[in-house]
Amino acid sequence: MNCSAVQHNLSAYHDNELSPDLRAAIEEHLHTCHDCTARLAAFRELSRVAADLNDPTAPSGMWEELQTKLQRQARRGESSRSRTATTTSMRRRLATAAIVLLALSAALGIWRYQSSEQRQMRVAFGAFLDQFPRDPIAAQRTIVTKYDGQAVTLDEATKKLRYRPALPTSGDALRLEKMYILRMPCCTCVETIYKNADGETLAVFEHHDEDPGWFSNRPTIRAHCSGKPTSIVQVDNHLAATWKNQNRYLTVVGARDVEEVASLIAGFQQPDTQ
């Protein structure tokens, strides 16, 4: 057997995946060939070091998040099945039809009410996005008034929200100024006001939904910033951006440029996931 044939089979030999005959032929060649023996030694060394690699630990809370997503999906499936069942029943009995129609009207009412609330929130948040980079104090005052904003300490926020709000974990580039809990139609969220190293104000919202509709229909760029899928919108000469942090989402308003967005995203990551 020549070197080319041996080297073609060298991984399979190393991994003990060859027939005994082929294996014996290769061993015979290896006794006399320095080059092939050296290659095999390198494969063995790679395997030795690979076996010694660290075992990265999965972050906690992944199962809970996965379960929430699966349950949400199952509910969607059930509601679509129950809608199908209702349609069949309507054909059979007029009385049921009346009840279903009533239920549908009520649902439509709720939907209209919710969608009107959502529309109002989009308008209010849109105004906040526009005003914040120019006049953060006035923008902040408006949103706090509109959404029953409560100034809180970190401990108070943790108690009320039942989770500890995300804080920057690295560097001293951000100075925490104030923290609020806002009761918005989409969710109860925590808003933290920071000053960056240049004294500019940034607002960071932490929320459960990936897209609470805050960016409305503004052109959104989907990018990877510091390795995280991020939605970015431009507001005048500033940026707002949303990304996933641990089990929730963070939205920053008032970032100067993508570099600042990337640095914020990296700054909010837990040290063990960096």
Partner 1 sequence: MALGPGRNSLATASNVVDRDAVACPSECDSLEPIVLASQQGDAKAQRELYERCEQSVYRLVVRMVGVQAAPDVAQDAFLQTFRSLRQFSGRSRFETWLYRLAVNECLQFLRRARREPCERLTREPEDRSPDKADHLQHRELLERALAQLDPDLRSVFLLREIEGLSYRELAEALEIPEGTVASRLNRARTELQRLLRELGWEL
Positions in the binding site for partner 1 (CB under 8 A): 7-17, 40, 42-47, 49-59, 62-63, 65-67, 69-70, 73, 221-230, 244, 258, 262, 269, 273-274
Please identify, using beta-carbon distances, which residue of 191 and 206 lies nearer to partner 1.
Answer: 206
Closest by Cα among 221, 256, 224 to 239: 256
Phi-psi region of 145 (alpha: psi -120 to 50; beta: other; left: phi over 0): alpha
Are 164 and 158 in contact by the 8 Å Cβ rule? The answer is yes
Query: Nearest distance from residue 63's CB to partner 1, in Å?
Result: 5
Query: Nearest distance from residue 44's CB to partner 1, in Å?
Result: 7
Query: Nearest distance from residue 1's CB to partner 1, in Å?
Result: 16
Closest by Cα among 185, 269, 199 to 227: 269
Query: Nearest distance from residue 16's CB to partner 1, in Å?
Result: 5
Please identify, using beta-carbon distances, which residue of 202 and 225 lies nearer to partner 1.
Answer: 225
Sheet hosting strand 188-195, strand order edge to edge? 150-151, 175-183, 188-195, 201-207, 248-255, 238-245, 228-235, 220-225
Please identify, using beta-carbon distances, which residue of 26 and 235 lies nearer to partner 1.
Answer: 26
- d(C-alpha 205, C-alpha 181), whole Å: 9
Query: Nearest distance from residue 136's CB to partner 1, in Å?
Result: 26
- d(C-alpha 260, C-alpha 187), whole Å: 26
Please identify, using beta-carbon distances, which residue of 10 and 139 lies nearer to partner 1.
Answer: 10
Please identify, using beta-carbon distances, which residue of 54 and 145 lies nearer to partner 1.
Answer: 54
Query: Nearest distance from residue 99's CB to partner 1, in Å?
Result: 30
Beta bridge partners, 251, equal: 205, 242
Are 142 and 163 in contact by the 8 Å Cβ rule? The answer is no
Query: Nearest distance from residue 55's CB to partner 1, in Å?
Result: 6
Please identify, using beta-carbon distances, which residue of 54 and 88 lies nearer to partner 1.
Answer: 54
CA 160 to chain centre: 23
Please identify, using beta-carbon distances, which residue of 166 and 225 lies nearer to partner 1.
Answer: 225
SS3 content of the chain, % helix, strand, coil (to 5): 55, 20, 25
